[in-house]
Amino acid sequence: NAGVMQNPRHLVRRRGQEARLRCSPMKGHSHVYWYRQLPEEGLKFMVYLQKENIIDESGMPKERFSAEFPKEGPSILRIQQVVRGDSAAYFCASSPTGESVGSPLHFGNGTRLTVT
């Protein structure tokens, strides 16, 4: 059973370009979470999605960032007009249920975004 798959593993973008990060959850998991890890920091919650629905986006920056989890295909985290401060590791996690209480999340290996 494949784990959470993220691609690309590394992504380099120039300032002003767009970054698209993909996440395929574990088989049978319909809940996806995106977290961001800045250097020397722990992971910070960004957004929680179910298929075709955003459940909680309280951790998402108000501008330039968007996320989707369509009925078919992977979840996409999109960052428009990237700036140097967006450089970070972005982790996707999935779970079979929507309640994280008592349920650990399964994390992917992350996408490391570098903005030059």
Q: What single DSSP character describes residue 52?
A: T
* 76-105: contacts with other proteins (CB under 8 A): 91, 98-105
Return the number of the residue (54 or 76) whose C-beta is nearest other proteins. 54
Half-sphere exposure of 50 (CA within 13 A, CB side): 6
Instruction: Pick between residue 18 and residue 56 the one whose CB is nearest to other proteins.
Output: 56
Angle at 104 between CA 99 and CA 109, to 5 degrees: 120
Which distant-in-sequence residues (6+ apart) come within 8 Å of 47 by Cβ?
33, 34, 54, 56, 57, 59, 60, 67, 77
The reply to whether 69 sits near other proteins by the rule CB under 8 A is no
Q: How far is the CB of 102 from other proteins (least distance, A)?
A: 4
Site for other proteins in 30-59 (CB under 8 A): 33, 35, 40-45, 48, 55-56, 59
* 77 φ/ψ angles, rounded to the nearest 5 degrees: -105, 125
Note the residues at the interface with other proteins (CB under 8 A): 4, 33, 35, 40-45, 48, 55-56, 59, 91, 98-105, 107-110, 112
